[in-house]
Structure 1
């Protein structure tokens, strides 16, 4: 055998193509070979910007003595978790069940080749004993002996683990709930959990490390308009939301020079991040920061939105119009040594290119007068408002923003000359769809940086490069789409198209959305019990098909898929799918009762269901529609969707339910009933603000 990763598309796999380990890609042929040779499979899962993946690679996978042990006793498969999230979900869950603790990356798991069920699982292992962990080679030799000598024990364990995986991954836990009061109690429970665990000093949740957890705060923001929460809880929740988002944007999670958010911070103060930037984080945070910035009229949040969009356009935009996946945490420092955070950190003497006044202001604003906060250097944070810095440095309030912006731009230009961290240049459909959602939310919120060209380019990439023959592909690189799409891809894109239609309704995007919803219904939906599987009914199934309503680093794609199918079903009058929506939400609510903080997306949807989905369809000339559309779409209305159809859009189904007339017409359907057409702006305002019981 030999290392065959030189044939891979994934930048992560290509990083390992010169390892002495005989790495293989996941394939039926390799699995068959492992069965024939009766060799256990060593499955190593990671991604290109994973710091500890790099550490383990340098320590072990590049070492010939380690490779010799791996090659002798195992069939070694390297997997990019971003290309195969289905397999990653399966083996992360298996790790959790085997070890009674969460996994992570790198994931090192040993599979029985005949069943693909893991009988051992861990994460990072050092070459030599360290951190209370055994030496990797010694561990592998013991595992090989266990596989050879105790196959009966392994088979028994595998049987129990397989059963547990199918129960947990298949969403078979929990009972049924049909109480209309459960939605109120779930909203209260989520609110209470957030307030209880919120760090009111620094923002986010208490403890360290700290992740931004956009799904939690996005749902919390929408719950501020809930009728189910007491006023005092709404006030506390509002403080938690704005405090957390300010924490994200003011301190070390945010790149203050170029924009963009890092993946997480290692401390409770949001000071020092793990320096990789992931597209999926930034897409979600664009949506969250945009809606919150508009809702709270917070200029700082909107500034973080604008800078992040500029960063996406400058460093992440691919020629095809979509966005690359990630920037690594490590890069080369001045001595040519790869070091975490080298691209982003400063020492005060590196600011000599600034004027004395700019230096004084920048050092005070970015904390460079304080003790170094990262390995003898400074990662930029803002502990003080610029107005306070202006007062301390005796700079006029009108001059301070100009001075600060001049310093920022010059510092960015100097930093741009440094070696850029490694960029994973594959394009992932799901992450691009989340980013498209963020760009559309930023436009709605009035961002100065977003453009129709950027939005249209991303949407056009998704339509022309990965939507082929009415099938969605999950990955794109070097001009080629590959890997059949998962629920993340279809669900996030369907939600993005809903937002696109709410921005500008087009026949092409409406038709595309309906096709996506048809595929979600036919290939992913569990029509009998409710919910969606992560893989389609014709994709590879390893051990089990996953079905879950919980959020993780990305928002729950079943919830986004359900929202899209729901709105389209209401628009088209599809009663079969409307029944499915209710069945799914009841199932999701039952699951969410067990741990509300893990199910914020579901609870947000249940709140909409309880209050009633509200659809507005406006028909008229192009110049007539914007005032009505802007009035209805302004503000935080979680259950309201507004679509403005100019004359010339003649979808037969929409024409039957919302017919165009000679004059401006507004149709509203809410709380499972449709109302007479409205043809007067003042009447529309009155009706829109009236509670319907």
Structure 2
């Protein structure tokens, strides 16, 4: 019998997850993942139907409407299975394990909604799929027929299922990486560069064909690669015919093809429909090659790295396109994604009023009615309102032309065109604000917040925006106050409840964000917290024997696997970011434990980096800085003199430079930092790994260096 509240809601109504709460009114007798549900399945000898999704997922909504809201389907589910609903954003551990199992069982990539059937005694999957329709179509079986068949197979084919499960567990074990005898040389770095060039879309930017994802880790790799080659004008593989040029001419040196691939891709995303041309913020991915029509959900974890990339591109080029895109993204975060308590919300839904993208699309007639004739005349060719509809009979704004091109064609000054565009955007944004808004997932996730904290701190420094830095600090302080308990980190917060032991990504991304903040302004408490997180990584996640970091902690709930993910996915690899951050902190403090953990991770990932280098951009950054230790600048002096010195040290794009400006009165610094003492006046210590030069005693000497 279904467990329902007086209001007709099932037990998911008590969850903190907006995704689970979306299913609280289903007639399905849903359980959250919990010991009670797992025990019930064992006692009743019923297989588990595990359904994993997230609140902004369009096809999750479709399957919910077609099947989970249908009483007849729910009756079959309730009779034959113990049904468990999981938010993949709160439980990425379960999602990672069962997505991998799906790939092995179904022999194709997974996705969401993920539908997995588990044996109750050991939680091993024996059948898996993603979306299933209510009736047979597109080569997929009807969901209810599938349910009947799966239940029958479970009760009648136990031996075959046991044999398959044994093979599956053996395959999962074989997927675990094996450490190499040594750390690779620079070959994987060059290999990734070649692989990205071979799949680069010269016409529209990006890599490969639709659907196109932003892959910010790969774009960052290309920018870092270019910066490393700037001193070498004879770099191989110069661009064929169309070298990228920028206002201050950075492409005059180095591997300009790598620079072009990154900047051109970022530019096309910024001008495309995947970027919200009115309200700021990037959508999840594009369904076409042109970056025109996205899946409309906006995820915090995409927008953090993309904001940081826009800041980097602005530093390299001084092109207002990147500056404006960075500001638009950060302003969207401030306006829509930061909770009053300080943390950042997770996502905006793709759907509103039951339709994907409805909030964002227009018709030319309604736009023309809102604008002055000269405003409409400008934006119609700019955004394609003069072309056929591009989204289900309506128009989604996409940069078909540049503003300079349209202004030239219409014989108006570019400054006047910018004014007209600003006026038109303001009016359209005000009109859009009156529409039914997409749902907002108001979970605060530690890992995703860390990605945005890092980006907002960088935006505050690079763009000269104290409000962005203040936003980052508010979010960090919220995590410290709410999700840091008795020396341990928690993963998720909503509605006054912080829970779930944090994962590898939470610790690694937060450590990385703290290092970024320390480069923006000095707080001793942040350095102490960074060291505590680094020690937690070693104590709870590090595999001292084989190298690398497990995704779940040593004292985490026992699951069928304890994976060590190495490749970048939608977010950067936790192993890659942990290796980068620990290596930098290890050099800064002279702490060999952190450096040794990075070395072990690079040995563990050696085969993967050599086989598919472009899929491991985060680990490649750690490898790069292992092969050539990054430059560390520590400035000591009176607090009123530090900003000028810090600005001189951080001028330009310097991805391999770590700068800390520490007031002279700060005493008792840990490790090697304690040796970098202040002088009679401000001074800067310049180090590479374990090698340091004599301190620079004037700001002129620092600027020259």
1:449-501 Cα offsets, whole Å, 9 max, x none, are: 95332122112111112112221111110112111111111111100000000
**Alignment partners' CA distance in 2, 1:672 and 1:112:** 53
Q: Which residue of 2 aligns with 1:298?
A: 319
Return the match for 1:348 from 364, 367, 381: 364
Instruction: Give CA deviations for 1:113-161 in whole Å, capped at 9, x if unaligned.
Output: 1111100000000011111111111111111111011101111111111
| Pair 384,118 (structure 1): closer, same or farther in 2 beyond 3 Å | same
The residue aligned with 1:184 is: 186
Contact 1:24 1:78 in 2 (8 A): yes
Q: Take 1:44 and 1:189, find their aligned partners in 2: how far apart are those partners?
A: 38
Q: 1:685 Cα shift?
A: 4.2
Structure-2 residue corresponding to 1:159: 166
Q: 1:284 matched to which residue of 2?
A: 305
Q: What is the correspondence of 1:117-196 to structure 2 with a 5 Å cutoff? A: 117-168=124-175, 170-172=176-178, 176-178=180-182, 182-196=184-198
Structure 1 partner of 2:415 = 398
Q: Which residue of 2 aligns with 1:539?
A: 556
Cα separation, 1, equivalents of 2:484 and 2:660: 24
Shift in CA distance, 457/671, structure 1 to aligned 2, threshold 3 Å? closer
Which residue is equivalent to 1:503? 520
Which residue, out of 255, 271, 274, partners 2:295? 274
C-alpha separation in 2, matches of 1:298 and 1:100: 45
Aligned mates of 1:252, 1:317 — CA distance in 2: 24
Q: Secondary structure at the match of 2:30?
A: coil
After alignment, is 522-531 or 484-493 more displaced? 522-531
The question of 1:663 aligning with 2:681 is answered: yes
Q: Secondary structure at the match of 1:549?
A: coil
Match of 1:224, SS state, is helix
Contact 2:637–2:664 (CA<8 Å) still a contact in 1? yes
1:577 deviates by 2.8
**Paired position in structure 2 for 1:492:** 509
| Runs of at least 5 residues in structure 1 that lack an aligned partner in the other structure | 333-337, 689-693
Q: Distance in 2 between matches of 1:314 and 1:203?
A: 30
Give the alignment of 1:236-251 within 5 angstroms. 236-251=257-272
Residue deviations 1:8-30, cap 9 Å, x none? 11010011011111100101121
Assess if the C-alpha contact under 8 Å between 2:457 and 2:468 holds in 1: no
Work out the CA distance in 2 between the residues paired with 1:143 and 1:310. 49
**Quick one: distance in 1 between partners of 2:84 and 2:635?**
54
- How does 1:60-459 map onto structure 2 within 5 Å? 60-168=67-175, 170-172=176-178, 176-178=180-182, 182-227=184-229, 230=236, 232=238, 234-332=255-353, 338-351=354-367, 352-446=369-463, 450-459=467-476
Deviates more, 1:272-281 or 1:668-677: 668-677
Q: In 2, are the aligned partners of 1:223 and 1:604 still within 8 Å (CA)?
A: no
* Farther-moved stretch of structure 1 (522-531 vs 92-101): 522-531
Work out the CA distance in 2 between the residues paired with 1:44 and 1:340: 22
Do the aligned partners of 1:45 and 1:106 also contact (CA within 8 Å) in 2?
yes
TM-score by length of 2: 0.93
The whole-number CA distance in structure 2 between the counterparts of 1:661 and 1:570 is: 22
Deviation at 1:634, TM superposition (A): 2.1
2:703 and 2:626 mapped to 1: Cα distance?
Answer: 23
Query: Who is 2:6 aligned against?
Result: none
The answer to whether the 8 A contact 1:248-1:254 is kept is: yes
* Cα displacement (A) at 1:563: 2.0
Q: Equivalent residue of 1:44, what SS? A: strand
Conserved 8 A contact 1:309-1:449: no
The residue that corresponds to 1:684 in the other structure is 702
Distance (Å, rounded) in 2 between the aligned partners of 1:216 and 1:447: 26
After TM superposition, give the deviation of residue 231 of structure 1 in Å.
5.7
d(CA) in 2 for partners of 1:451 and 1:296?
21
User: What value does the CA root-mean-square deviation take over the aligned residues?
Assistant: 1.6
SS at 1:114's partner residue? coil
Q: Within 2, Cα distance between the matches of 1:519 and 1:85? A: 19
2:330, 2:468 within 8 Å by CA — same for their partners in 1?
Answer: no
User: How many Å separate the matches in 2 of 1:508 and 1:303?
Assistant: 33
Equivalent-residue separation in structure 2 for 1:590 and 1:674 (angstroms) = 33
- The aligned residue for residue 675 of structure 1 is 693
The 8 Å contact of residues 222 and 636 in structure 1, kept in 2 or not, is answered as no
For residues 585 and 18 of structure 2, what CA distance do their matches in structure 1 show? 37
Q: Does 1:644 align with 2:661?
A: yes
Quote how far apart the aligned CAs of 1:426 are: 1.1
Cα offset, 1:188, TM superposition: 1.0
Deviations 1:383-435 (A, max 9, x none): 11112111222323221101110001111000011011011111111111100
Conserved in 2, the CA contact under 8 Å of 1:166 and 1:543? Answer: no
Q: Deviations over 1:90-132 (max 9, x none)?
A: 0000001112211000000000111111000000000111111
Matched with 1:608 is 625
1:29 and 2:36 are equivalent in the alignment = yes
TM-score by length of 1: 0.95
Aligned residue for 2:455, secondary structure, equals helix
More moved, 602-611 vs 224-233:
224-233
Structure 1 range deviating more: 132-141 or 649-658: 649-658
1:177 offset after TM fit, Å?
5.0
Distance in 2 between the 1:428 and 1:184 partners? 35
The reply on whether 1:52 has 2:56 as its aligned counterpart is no
Q: How many residues align?
A: 677
For 2:349 and 2:374, locate their aligned partners in 1 and report how far apart those are by CA, in whole Å.
Answer: 34
Q: Aligned in 2, Cα 1:626/1:231: closer, same or farther, shift over 3 Å?
A: farther
User: Secondary structure at the residue paired with 2:137?
Assistant: coil
Structure 1 distance, partners of 2:374, 2:181, is 64
